[in-house]
Structure 1
Amino acid sequence: MKALDDAVAEMDFEFLSSGEHTMSVEGMRKALGNGQNNVVFLDVRSDKEMEYLVLPFAKHISLHELPARMDELPKDKLVVAYCTSIFRSAVAYTLLRAHGFEQVKGMAASMEDMVKAFKPSPLANM
């Protein structure tokens, strides 16, 4: 429980205002355009949501399964959690930090904004 307390305690005003804990759609595009060798995109949406939209570059672990499956994620790479509403990715962020993941971010974008990045024109610019 102390690790969770410590992870939450670090989320003070300076931390939240810096934006260092988030990744934008542009950041996602850059990471993917660079081959994503040092980034793991973590989709924490439910299995039901996955029936409607899958982003093939991401690792899917539903938020409720994350505590039991953290060993599937590398601690030596940046892990960027995302979901449809940002809420679950914030929970995943906090959980991963509490379990010793130092390189973690949450997507600061909606699924709609993320999907727009994969239309032909933005894709061509990658």
Structure 2
Amino acid sequence: MTIQTINAAQLQQWQQQQKDFVLLDVREDNEVQYAAIPGYLHIPMNMIPLRQNELPDDKPIVIYCHHGMRSMQVALYLQDTGFENLYNLKGGIDAWSREVDCNIPTY
């Protein structure tokens, strides 16, 4: 089974429609302090196995990192542990900064 992807514009639509979902940021603390998409839940990638119980299993989870590689690994891990309705943000926060909100710095 493959992980669904969502692009920055689709994610912005979800936010504007106030769709009920979790926006999971799996980057490191210093990355989150530098730039983040509003409304995120932060669980660093290496903490996911210890903290996955904080994630709801009854609503979509959009996972993001810098460019989309770490978030895809987390999505595959969560899928293996039984989570469904997972989305990987294509291009990560870098795409969000370039396509949706240029006020969020790129790095």
TM-score, structure 2 normalization: 0.86
User: Deviation per CA, 1:11-64, whole angstroms, max 9, x where unpaired?
Assistant: 4xxxxxxxx610011210111001132x11110000121221132311110000
1:94-109 → structure 2 map (5 Å cutoff) = 94-109=76-91
* Number of aligned residue pairs: 102
Counterparts of 2:96 and 2:71, CA distance in 1: 14
Q: Secondary structure at 1:41's aligned position in 2?
A: strand
How much is the aligned-residue C-alpha RMSD, in angstroms? 1.7
Counterparts of 1:45 and 1:110, CA distance in 2: 10
Q: 2:39 aligns with which of 36, 57, 62?
A: 57
1:7 maps to which residue?
A: none
Counterparts of 2:77 and 2:92, CA distance in 1: 21
- Structure 2, unpaired ranges of 5+: none
1:1-126 → structure 2 map (5 Å cutoff) = 10-11=1-2, 21-37=4-20, 39-116=21-98, 117-119=100-102
- Contact kept, 8 Å, 2:67 with 2:90, in 1: the verdict is no
* 1:111 positional shift: 1.9
* 1:119 positional shift: 4.7
- Contact kept, 8 Å, 2:67 with 2:95, in 1: the verdict is no
Greater helix proportion: 1
Equivalent residue letter for 2:10: G
TM-score, structure 1 normalization: 0.74
Runs of 4+ in structure 1 over 3 Å off = none
